[in-house]
Amino acid sequence: MQLFRLTNTTLFISYWVFMIVTYPTLPDQIPMHFGANGEATRFSETSIFSWFLVPIIISIILLPILYLIRNTQTLPIDSPWFNFPFKEHILELEKDQQEKFQSLVSRYTGLLLHTAFFWMIILFLAVAMYNYIYATTEYSIPLFPFLMVHLLLMGVHVGWIVVRFKKRVGLKLTGIDGNSLEG
């Protein structure tokens, strides 16, 4: 988890540094919207608002994710915010088994949130770089294949985490198959 935290923080800071450093070198007009073929379909006058609006929105979206990652491990299992299928079965387990379950769920929740944060910041950084390259050189490549590859990689990564979690937790932890949390 520490590696994910360091990587995500570095990428997030790098994104802001990139946006700040490149702002003075922008031309008078910058592309604001791209078609699937990679061509700009709408331009805007270069301003602080037009260049930094997306990073501000991204920060508003991603910073709460960082907060959630930090606080999933301190949330009590009987909290209404700790939402999990078959929660009533988990609450019937002994206290030490509940703590093991909570630790496992917290680890996987943190991993899933870190993964989502990672793929989102990679996407936004790539789009910002593409926007800058297009604005300064008028070089364009189709965005659609890039987005599809990005979504495929993200889906595989998130799917792997979910499958791994289900195998690890599965029905065994819910008490449905009669097994306990041990193992």
**Distance from C-alpha of 28 to C-alpha of 67, rounded to nearest angstrom:** 37
26-75 pLDDT, tens digit each: 999 988 888 777 788 899 899 999 899 989 998 998 888 777 777 766 77
pTM: 0.74
Average pLDDT of the segment spanning 1-19: 89
CA-to-CA separations, 64 to 4, 60, 114, 119, 145, in angstroms, rounded? 16, 7, 12, 16, 30
Most confident of 63-72, 96-105, 112-121: 112-121
State the alpha helices, DSSP H only, in the chain: 2-22, 48-71, 87-92, 95-137, 143-168, 170-174
The amino acid sitting at 69 is: I
CB 4 within 8 A of CB 118: yes
Task: Please give the pLDDT value at position 86.
Answer: 66
**Distance from C-alpha of 22 to C-alpha of 16, rounded to nearest angstrom:** 10
CA–chain centroid gap for 27, Å, is 31
123-139 pLDDT, tens digit each: 888 888 888 888 888 67
State the alpha helices, DSSP H only, in 72-142: 87-92, 95-137
